[in-house]
Amino acid sequence: MDFSFFVGPLVGAIIGLITNGIAIRMLFRPLRPVKVFGLQLPFTPGLIPKEKTRIAKSLGKVVANTLVNEEVVKKGLLSQEMDDKITNYLEKWIEKNRSSEQTLREVLFSFTGEEPGLTLIDDVKCKAVSLSYGRMSNLELGALLSEVAVVEIVSNLQGSMFAMLINDGLINSAKLKIAEIIDHLIESRGKEILENIVNTETDSLLDSRLCDLYNQYEKRIPEARSWLLNTYHQIIEKNIGTMLHALDLSQLVEDQINGFDVLEFEKIIFEIMKKELNAIVWLGGLLGGIMGLFMSFF
């Protein structure tokens, strides 16, 4: 049997395997420029080490603009599947802690730690006071309450000896004076009053035991769960764009890739694409074998 017919395909296959294998290794190797007689050899360093900065920037843009953009993140975080996960977690947590003697303060500290928890409580209190004071100031309570107060005073004086002294001028003067007193009180002591109310109510809530809260509000749990989900959706809808912008995912990915050692980056690529890269090598052998087979006929 003449084996010379198989020499061409065999040699072609070996050449294809070797050349494709070398080409893949040359993506990363050599790691540094190679110079001979002061001249840098072409294709040194390898493509990945040479273009690492550009690749990092391109990958960062692709991840931020296409793979993990605002629309994609919203779709994931606001999906029905995510709602179901949150609901299931809440239900399991409530069932587990319905008889717990722990206070809300202790539960909070178990998640955050004491110092961060205290800071979080203070921040929430400050924001609650600031928000309440701002709304109270915009309501023009002085004019509103003075109107109510004067109507009540006039009503109570009807039929008394002072009724004859009441006239429109006196009523308007009383309204202005009462409104002035209320506005001054809100301006001078409004925040202090609100702080006392917020501190008292917050501390009372945080010191409540979970079992007592469950017994007190058991019937309102579905309502609270719905409120939490709606609040979660509102927070994501309003803030996810700002959060992603502040995160600067593109720069984050770029910095992370640039921070990789080339050998580490090579290892990551080969772990992800080992099967595909090996397929390319074997494809080179197959094509080389086919070409060798054709050459055997000539």
The pLDDT tens digits for 21-46 are 888 888 778 878 778 877 877 777 77
Total residues found in the chain within this entry: 298
Tokens representing 114? 């004491």
Establish whether the linkage from the previous residue to 45 is cis, with ω within 30° of 0. Answer: yes
Backbone Cα Rg of the chain: 37
The pLDDT tens digits for 155-203 are 666 665 555 556 667 667 777 887 788 778 878 888 888 899 999 999 9
- Please enumerate, as own/partner, the contacts of 101-109 that have beta carbons within 8 Å and a separation of 24 or more: 101/209, 101/210, 101/211, 102/209, 102/210, 103/206, 103/207, 103/208, 103/209, 103/210, 104/205, 104/206, 104/207, 104/208, 104/210, 104/213, 105/206, 105/207, 107/210, 108/206
For residue 167, the model assigns a pLDDT of 64
Helices (H), 113-220: 114-138, 141-157, 168-206, 210-217
For the chain, which ranges sit under pLDDT 70? 1-5, 150, 152-168, 170-171, 296-298
Domain ranges across the chain: 103-208
| pTM of this prediction exceeds 0.95 | no
Residue 94: closest CA among 224, 256, 3, 5: 224
For residue 157, the model assigns a pLDDT of 60
Query: How many Å apart are CA 93 and CA 134, to the nearest integer?
Result: 36
Close Cβ partners of 192 (under 8 Å, ≥ 6 residues apart): none
The DSSP annotation for 191-247 comes to HHHHHHHHHHHHHHHHTSBHHHHHHHHGGGHHHHHHHHHHHHHHHHHHHHHHHHHHH
Asked if residue 288 lies in contact with residue 16, where contact means CB atoms within 8 angstroms, the answer is yes
DSSP state of 12: H
Close Cβ partners of 6 (under 8 Å, ≥ 6 residues apart): none
Residue 211: closest CA among 288, 56, 59, 96: 96
